[in-house]
Chain A
Amino acid sequence: MRGDDFGSRFAYWFSVAIGLVLAIVPLPDRFDPVRPDIALLAVIFWVLARPRIAGLGYAWLAGLLLDVLRGMTLGQHALGFLVVAFIAHRLQLRMRMFPLLMQAGTVMLLLALYHFIIFWTDGLTGHGYTGWSRWLPVFSGALLWPLIVAAGDTITRRSR
C-alpha cells in the first residue's frame, strides 16, 4: 500500500509539473489567451481519482509554484487552486458518478470560479484587465477535460 502511495504521489507531482511547464511555454500570441490551465485540471483530476493523496496542501503548493513561475502576486494562484481543490473535495463523491459531459460542465464552473478569483485579486492589486478574452481558458479547459480524464485513467488503471 505504501509503495502504491508513493507511485501516486510521484504521478501527482509529475503531472502537475507538466502542467506548470505548459503554463509558461511560449505560444503564438493568438493562442496565448486561450491557454488552458492544465496544472489546475491535473489537480482536479487527482482530487477526484486519489482524494487520499491529493490534499489541499498539495493544491496550494502547486498554485504557489505557478505564481512564482509567472511572476504574479504571491498567493494569487495559490488561493485559486486551494478554493477549487476544496470544492472538488467536497463534491468528489458526486462528481465521480457524473457522466463525462456533466463532469466537464462542473469543471467549467470550477474553472470559472478560479478565473474569477484571479480576476478579482488582479483588480485588488491594480492589474485589472477587463477584456472578455481572459475568460477563454474556462472554455478551453472544459473542452480539454475529457482528454485529461482519458490520460489520467490510463495511468491510474495500470497502478490499480
Chain B
Amino acid sequence: MVELSHDSRPIIGRGPPLGATFLTLALLSIALMVADQRYPQIQRVRSWLTAIAFPVQKGVDLPFRAWNWLGESFADRNRLRAENLELTGRLRLANLQLQRFAVLEEENRRLRDMRENSAGIAERVLVASILNVDLDPFRHRVLLDKGAADGVFQGQAILDAEGIFGQVARVNAQTSEAILISDAEHAIPVQSNRSGVRTIAVGTGDPAKLSLPFVTTEADLKVGDLLLSTGIGGVFPRGYPVAQITKVERAATATFALVEARPTANLDRDREVLLAWFQPAVPETPAPAAQATASASVPPAPASASPTPARAGASPTPAQPGASPRPAQAAPGASTPRAEPRQ
C-alpha cells in the first residue's frame, strides 16, 4: 500500500501530469460557468445532462411518493368519510359561487371585449406535481415533473389554488425548475385590491414573507390589503391574488415605508401546482419606473419592456379557451427565443 513516488498514479499509461489535468479541467469549468451565464446555447448541453439526472431525481422522488400513496391507500375509513363529507359540502358551496361567477365572467368578458382587451386571464392550465427533491437550501426553487415535452416554456406563470406560486426558471426535457415568488431573486408587479396602488413585491428568502421596498410613505396601503397581480410585464396573468399585507411601518424621516406581505399561495406546503397559459395583458399606460424595476429584478424571465406590435392585431379576437394556446405563448416579448418549447 505504500508508494514512494510523490505522484502516485500508475507509471505506465500515466497520462498528462497532474498539474496539467488540473489546469485543463479548471479552465473547462470556468468556461462552462461563463457559458451558462452568457450563452443560452449551453442549455442544450444541460438538457443532455439532465437526461442522466432525470432517472436519479425520479428515483429519489419515488419512495416518498409511494409512502404518500400507501398512507392514502390505508387511510382510515372514518377519516375518508369525514373528508368526503367536508369536500362535498365545500363543492356545493363552490358550485353555488360558480353560478354567480359564470354570470360575472360573461359580463366581464363582454366588457373587456368592448375595450378590445380580453387578455390576462389564464385560459389553460396543466397540473404539475413537485418532485420530492431538494435543490439548493438557500434558493426557493422546486423541480416540477413537466418539461419541454409538455409544452412548458421559460417564464411561464405557476399558480396554485390560493394564488400565484412562481414562474418557470429553466426548462428541461421532462422536468422544469420553478422559482418561487419568495425567492430572494424574484420580483412580481402587484396592485392593491382596495386602493389600486401599484408596486413591486420582492421575495425575501422566507416562504411566509414578501417585501415591498418601493412604497412611499404616502402610498395608500394598509395591513390586510390584498395584493393582486397586475399582468404588467406579461409573465403573470392579471388579477390573481399574490399576497396579503401583514405590516406597514412609516417612519417620519424615511421616503419609503417598510411594507411586508404574506403570500397567499401555500409556497411551502404545495405538492401540486398549475402551469398557466394565457394571453398577456397589454397595459394601456404602464408605469415606466415600475416597469424598469420589474425587468431589472426578475433575471430568469425578463419582463417584456415593450408590448409587441403583434398584440394589437391579436387582441380583437376574444380568447378562445383551449383553442391553440401555443401562438398565444409565442407572441409575448417575455418569452425570448430560447424560451420556446421544443427547440
Stretch from B25-33, B119-127, B230-238, B314-322 contacting the other chain:
B25-33
A69 touches B57 (CB 8 A): yes
Partner of B33 from the list A25, A32, A73, A86 (CB cut-off 8 Å) is: A73
Please indicate the chain B residues that have their CB under 8 angstroms from the CB of A68 in the complex.
Answer: 46, 49-50, 52-53
Nearest CB in chain B to that of A5: its residue: B10
How many B residues are at the interface, by size bracket?
35 or more
B9 at the interface (CB under 8 A from A): yes
Residue from the set A25, A65, A121, A126 with the largest chain B CB neighbour count within 10 Å: A25
Q: Are A60 and B45 in contact (CB-based, < 8 A)? A: no
Evaluate whether A24 and B133 lie within 8 angstroms (CB atoms) in the complex, with A82-B22, A82-B29 already known: yes
A76 touches B64 (CB 8 A): no
Q: How far is the CA of A79 from the CA of B35 in the complex (A)?
A: 14
- Provide the B34-60 mask, 1 if CB < 8 A to any CB of A, else 0: 011100001001100110110011011
A101-128, CB under 8 A of B: which get 1 and which 0? 0000000000000000000010011110
Contact indicator B133/A26 (Cβ below 8 Å): yes
Q: Which of A68, A72, A83 has the most CB of B within 10 A?
A: A68
Tell me, yes or no, whether B287 is within 8 Å of chain A by CB: no
Contacts of B205 in A (CB 8 A): 129
Most B CB atoms within 10 A — which of A21, A70, A90, A131?
A70
CA distance A42 to B143 in the complex (A): 26
Interface check B74, CB cutoff 8 A: no
- Of A7-15, A49-57, A138-146, the segment with at least 4 beta carbons within 8 Å of chain B is A49-57
B6 within 8 A of partner (CB): yes
Closest to A134 in B: B138
CB-based contact B33/A74 at 8 Å: yes
The answer to whether B134 touches A56 (Cβ under 8 A) is: no
Q: How many A-B residue pairs have CB under 8 A?
A: 125
A64-B49, A82-B25 known; A70+B30 contact, CB < 8 A: no
A126 and B299 in contact, given A24-B57, A74-B33, A75-B33 (Cβ under 8 angstroms): yes
Residues of A within 8 A of B184 (CB): 129
B37 CB contact (under 8 Å) in A69, A125, A131, A160: A125
Cross-chain contact A79 with B33 (CB below 8 angstroms):
yes
Closest to A49 in B: B1
State whether A79 touches B8 (Cβ < 8 A).
Answer: no
Closest to B34 in A: A75
- The contact of A79 among B21, B30, B138, by CB within 8 Å, is B30
| Complex-state Cα separation, A124 to B29, whole angstroms | 14
CA distance A20 to B56 in the complex (A): 9
- 1/0 per residue, CB under 8 A from A, across B96-131: the answer is 000000000000000000000000000000000000
- Chain A, interface size category, equals 35 or more
* Separation of A156 and B79 alpha carbons in the complex (Å): 52
Specify the chain B residue showing the minimal Cβ separation from A124: B33
* In the bound complex, CA of A27 to CA of B268 (Å): 13
- Interchain CB contact under 8 A, A127 and B139: yes
Cβ of B135 within 8 Å of any chain A Cβ, yes or no, is: yes
Check B138–A131 contact: CB distance below 8 A: yes
Q: Evaluate contact between B135 and A74: CB separation under 8 angstroms.
A: no
Asked if B284 is an interface residue, CB under 8 A from chain A, the answer is: no
Are B137 and A75 within 8 A (Cβ)?
Answer: no
A40 to B184, CA, bound (A): 28
Task: Check A27/B134 contact, CB under 8 A, given A51-B8, A69-B57, A73-B36.
Answer: yes
Residue B217 at the A interface, CB < 8 A?
A: no
Beyond A32-B134, A57-B21, A83-B26, is A24–B60 a contact (Cβ under 8 Å)? yes
* Cβ contact within 8 Å between A35 and B137: yes
CA distance A57 to B25 in the complex (A): 8
Closest B residue by C-beta to A51: B8
Q: How far does the alpha carbon of A124 sit from the alpha carbon of B30 in the complex, in Å? A: 12
B132 at interface (Cβ–Cβ under 8 A)? yes
Residues of B within 8 A of A26 (CB): 60, 64, 132-134
By beta carbon, the residue of chain A nearest B46 is: A74
For A89, what are the chain B residues with a Cβ–Cβ distance below 8 Å?
8, 18
A113 to B138, CA, bound (A): 19
Complex CA gap A72/B46 in Å reads 10
Check A129–B138 contact: CB distance below 8 A. yes
The 3 closest A-B pairs by CB, nearest first: A75-B32, A75-B29, A129-B138
